[in-house]
Structures are given as C-alpha cells and as structure tokens.
C-alpha cells in the first residue's frame, strides 16, 4: 500500500494470521459438510439429533488436545460447545425436513 508505514515484521505476522484464519474457515466448512451428512443419516434412521455421550467424549478429547497444544482447555471447550450447538441446530432442521418429506 502506498504510504503504509506498517513495520515489515507486523505485516508478516498479520499475513500468517490471515492464512491461518482462511485455513480455519475452510476446515470448519469441511467439518460442517460432514456433520450435515451425519444429520441426514440420523434423520433417515430416526436417531436423535443430539448424542450427549459422544459430546462428553469430544469435550474431554478436545480439552486434552488443547492442553497438549498450549491452548486454554476452557477455550477449546467453549469453542466446541459453540460448534455443537450449531451442528444440533442443523440436525434438528434436517430432521424436521425429513419428517415433512415423508
């Protein structure tokens, strides 16, 4: 940029952050494609949208991964709770659509 007085080191760090943000968004999109398929399968086989036991295992697993990675386990748990809430919303929507289609 003309007239940009951002120090080169800051620009480099920001570019790396931007690349990671893009990767995170693409990975989340892939994750939600898979969970959409799970929602369709659950609706087709009349399984409930939520699986509390799996959710508990996932929370424990992600907390351990976060701890190993040097990330606050509480943050990982909050993030997962947000993702699970969105997935459940999608599964419930899919289940309702399946019910009205049959």
- pLDDT tens digits, one per residue of 40-63: 999 999 999 999 999 999 999 999
Measured CA distances, 71 to 35, 62, 67 (Å): 25, 10, 6
Token pair belonging to 77: 């748990």
pLDDT at 3: 59
Q: Once rounded to an integer, what is the mean pLDDT over residues 60-88? A: 97
Measured CA distances, 5 to 10, 11, 12 (Å): 10, 10, 13
Residue 100 pLDDT greater than 90, yes or no: no
Give the orientation angle of helix 8-44 with respect to helix 73-101, to 10 degrees.
Answer: 40
Whether the CB-CB separation of 42 and 95 falls below 8 Å is answered with yes
Among 14-18, 48-52, 64-68, the range scoring the smallest mean pLDDT is 48-52
pLDDT at 53: 97
Token pair belonging to 3: 């007239």
Which pTM does this prediction carry? 0.83
Q: Write down the architecture of domain 8-101 according to CATH.
A: Up-down Bundle (1.20)
pLDDT at 60: 97
């Amino acid at each position: 940029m003309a007239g940009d007085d951002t120090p080169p080191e800051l620009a480099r760090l920001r570019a790396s952050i931007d690349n990671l943000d893009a990767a995170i968004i693409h990975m989340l999109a892939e994750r939600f494609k898979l969970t959409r398929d799970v929602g369709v399968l659950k609706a087709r086989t009349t399984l409930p949208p939520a699986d509390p036991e799996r959710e508990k295992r996932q929370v424990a697993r992600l907390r351990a991964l976060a701890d190993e990675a040097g990330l606050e386990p509480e943050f990982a748990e909050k993030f997962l709770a947000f993702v699970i809430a969105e997935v459940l919303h999608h599964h419930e929507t899919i289940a309702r659509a399946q019910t009205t289609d049959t």
